Amino acid sequence: MDIKDKRVVVTGAASGIGKALANAFCDAGVKSVVSVDMNLEGAEETAKETGGIAVQANVGKEEDIIKVIEKANDLSGGIDIFCSNAGIGGVHGFLEVQTEDWQNIWEVNVMSHIYAARNVLPQMLDRGEGYIMSTASAAGLLTQIGSAGYTVTKAAAVSFAEWIKITYGSKGIGVSCLCPQAVRTAMTAGGPGVAGVDGMIEPEVAAEDVLDAITKDRFLVTPHPEVLEYINRKGADRDRWISGMQRLQERYEDWMPEKID
């Protein structure tokens, strides 16, 4: 898709990857950027930088997603690119994670993508063109040591994005799924942990890769190139891969919030 003059929505736009995406789209000459976040002050700062508008929303609530789409339609008459970027780390570990913690991370990391697609796809299908970008994680392709909730929800996010691409790709809908390892954001402010095994990148690097993927209609966005090699190893021999991940877990048990005996 040619990005120039497109109408864009970015969730999680107050900081990190979302803010970098909003600014990258602005620099690429889009028509409008709607910056969405629960942190309205941060979203307004991003909107000021990009000349767009800010909308406060909890992306884990469908009524808030509908409000975002309505405001974006009011602003520019439609949405060409919807970046479902917002996500949370949730509660780490497994045995100590409560049901309400699972529900919370599921709503933000999975249902937000479902709500966005369900409510923005109809207008895109009517036009015969549109693009959905979902931010997942390398954890969704591999595994996140020490965090069951993050691993499971990010894997679901990748799977849903893939399903959308398979189902609607021939109908003019582009789909990309961002799967980085450690990115310098609020989520990694306390350190990258095991996700930083291949280094931490800046949000602008991830944003640049996303725009390139949208331009080329490339599904998987992996700013850390090592991730592609890990995927190949995992697919070639799952048991060997699991054994390697068990060794990695042993290395990081001092960092992990829950120790498995």
**Domain 7-251 architecture:** 3-Layer(aba) Sandwich (3.40)
Work out whether the CA dihedral 215, 20, 12, 227 comes out positive or negative.
positive
pLDDT of residue 260: 38
Give, for all 261 residues of the chain, the pLDDT tens digit: 999 999 999 999 999 999 999 999 999 999 999 999 999 999 999 999 999 999 999 999 999 999 999 999 999 999 999 999 999 999 999 999 999 999 999 999 999 999 999 999 999 999 999 999 999 999 999 999 999 999 999 999 999 999 999 999 999 999 999 999 888 877 665 655 665 676 778 999 999 999 999 999 999 999 999 999 999 999 999 999 999 999 888 887 765 554 433
pLDDT of residue 192: 55
DSSP structural state of residue 257: S
Work out whether the CA dihedral 69, 161, 26, 122 comes out positive or negative.
negative
* DSSP H stretches of helix in 217-260: 226-236, 238-251
CB 121 within 8 A of CB 130: yes
Dist. CA 257–CA 200, nearest whole Å: 21
pLDDT of residue 63: 98
The domains of the chain are located at 7-251
Q: Which two tokens stand for residue 46?
A: 């991003």
Dist. CA 32–CA 85, nearest whole Å: 17
Edge-first strand listing for the sheet containing 7-11: 53-56, 32-37, 7-11, 81-84, 130-135, 173-178, 220-221
- Bridge partners (DSSP) listed for residue 54: 35
Tens-digit pLDDT profile for residues 97-153 = 999 999 999 999 999 999 999 999 999 999 999 999 999 999 999 999 999 999 999
* Predicted TM-score (pTM) of this structure: 0.92
Position 83, amino acid: C
| 218 Rama sector, left if φ>0, alpha if ψ -120 to 50, beta otherwise | beta
DSSP structural state of residue 200: -
Tens-digit pLDDT profile for residues 5-22 = 999 999 999 999 999 999
